[in-house]
Amino acid sequence: MKKTFVNKQQVEDIVKTYPTPFHLYDEKGIRENARKLKAAFAWNKGFKEYFAVKATPNPFLINILKEEGCGTDCSSYTELMLSEALGITGSNIMFSSNDTPAEDFAKARELDAIINLDDITHIEFLEKAASLPKRICLRFNPGGVFKVSTSIMDNPGDAKYGLTKDQMIEAYKILMSKGVEEFGIHSFLASNTVTNEYYPLLAKILFELAVELKEKTGANIKFINLSGGVGIPYTPDKEPNDIMAIGEGVRKAFEEVMVPAGLGDVAIFTELGRFMLGPYGCLVTKAIHEKHTHKEYIGVDACAVNLMRPAMYGAYHHITVLGKEDAPCDHKYDVVGSLCENNDKFAIDRMLPAIDKGDYLVIHDTGAHGYAMGYNYNGRLKSAELLLQEDGSVKMIRRAETPKDYFATFDFCDVLKDMKY
Ligand SMILES: *Cc1c(COP(=O)(O)O)cnc(C)c1O
């Protein structure tokens, strides 16, 4: 059973001030989870989580994570700006981007972020765009398929990211000859893994690579960045990852590979997004229509603009009808938004309790890669983001868009000067 962190009474209170739809985040859940992650890796002296800003680029939420000791993982100019504005700079930023524009590299150098290069040609590109730092990270792509036991988890050979092993060795040599003194290794091999084995397996691959790189180049390796990919159970049949078991699995691989090679003081970094916030956010929406044609439809006041994952990947997001948690799920619905796109469906053939117009639906696990993926198709506006604080009060942490925001990019001219807002 998946439970909501907010109940019907609370939502009825919230909508008096903030109309649906809105994303709601659970401060208590966020802080407890961040502390658990820290505890799971407490065995590693240099451990640090760099929150993947792209997952949920909200300054209030990033500040909460900052208070819990996290840095940021940025991939673009604006994400770097956001970090800078929050006082997160230097080694508290990991800049893990790809196909990187020159101005983004320049900004990353200005902030003295740790730069994670996605390709061997980016050495020269970075040198021209700004300058080479003393400390750098390289992203590794082993190719092939990535398996846990016998099941294929993902397909690195098809992924655009990272350097081959030979390129890693060559790049380390080039960078050393250019005066780089400290090195890191990064890799992201599988997304949204719901198994305690992913990080330990990835860690072993990167630890063995670190030993080889040290032997072949003599480089001073300071950190291994396990990146993102630790997932969350979107469907009710899945068990959540046990972060303590994951930390312990990584520790075992570290003791086995790194310590004997004299690399026992290398720091472990993570760049988790989904795991940090996914379960601690939800999209609250109201049923505004019901339609009985060839199928049974419930039309809600949110749409794919507020949460794109179902339309984009056919992703499952659990739905709870508030106040009907214990009612039998004996109705089969498509829960849809208003876009003129037939993939704008939060659920297809989903068994739910009988839904009445006016019911509030909670769409679970939207805390990461939820609001962030939003767009403005059909002229639909993005919702507010609200924070359920630890004391039970609710704070607005991003206002809803207005038509004025939607038309703002015409403000350079007077073509819409007669627009009435
Ligand atoms: C997206 C991304 C992450 C975060 O991934 P999650 O699946 O949210 O944990 C981390 N690092 C990089 C480079 C990414 O692109």
Same fold, 27-277 and 279-410: no
Distance 363 CA to ligand 1 centre (A): 22
Render the burial of 193-226: b for 16+ CB within 10 Å, e for the rest: bebbebbbbbbbbbbebbbebbeebebebbbbbb
User: With bands split at pLDDT 50, 70 and 90, how would you rate the model's confidence at 286?
Assistant: very high
> Do the Cβ atoms of 117 and 126 come closer than 8 Å?
yes
Burial of 126: CB neighbours in 10 Å, binned 0-12, 13-18, 19+: buried
**What digits encode the pLDDT tens for the residues 133-148?**
999 999 999 999 998 8
DSSP lists the bridge partners of residue 267 as 223
Q: What is the distance in A from the centroid of ligand 1 to the CA of 235? A: 20
Stretch 316-338: mean pLDDT: 98
**What pLDDT, on a 0 to 100 scale, did the predictor assign at position 1?**
84
Cα dist from 220 to 70, 129, 135, 211, 412, whole Å: 24, 25, 10, 11, 51
What does 26-68 look like in DSSP terms, one character per residue?
EHHHHHHHHHHHHHHTTTSTT-EEEEEGGG---HHHHHHHHHT
Mutation choice for ligand 1 from 51, 62, 70, 73, CB with most ligand atoms inside 8 A: 73
Distance of alpha carbon 291 from the chain centroid: 35
Strands 71-74 and 48-52: what pairing?
A: parallel
β-sheet bridge partners, residue 388: 26, 394
Does residue 203's CB lie within 6 angstroms of at least one atom of ligand 1? no
278 Cβ neighbours under 8 A, 6+ residues apart: 55, 232, 365, 366, 367, 368, 369
Q: Please work out whether the CB of residue 227 comes within 6 Å of at least one atom of ligand 1.
A: yes
Distance CA 138, CA 339 (A): 41
pLDDT of 92: 98
- What's the rounded mean pLDDT across residues 346-371? 98
- At the fourth CATH level, the homologous superfamily of domain 27-277 is Alanine racemase (3.20.20.10)
- Report pLDDT digits (tens) over 147-190: 888 888 899 999 999 999 999 999 999 999 999 999 999 999 99
Place of tokens 């190719």: 143
pTM tops 0.85: yes
**Of the given ranges (102-106, 147-151, 372-376, 381-385), which has the lowest mean pLDDT?**
147-151
DSSP 255: I
Pick the CATH number of 279-410 from 3.30.1360.200, 2.40.37.10, 1.20.1250.20, 1.10.620.20: 2.40.37.10
Q: Are 310 and 325 in contact (CB under 8 A)?
A: no
pLDDT digits (tens, 9 = 90+) for 213-245: 999 999 999 999 999 999 999 999 999 999 999
The number of helix segments (H) and strand segments (E) in the chain equals 12, 19
Looking from the CA of residue 368, the nearest atom of ligand 1 is 8
User: What are the structural domain ranges in the chain?
Assistant: 27-277, 279-410
What ranges in 265-389 are assigned the alpha helix state H?
274-277, 309-313
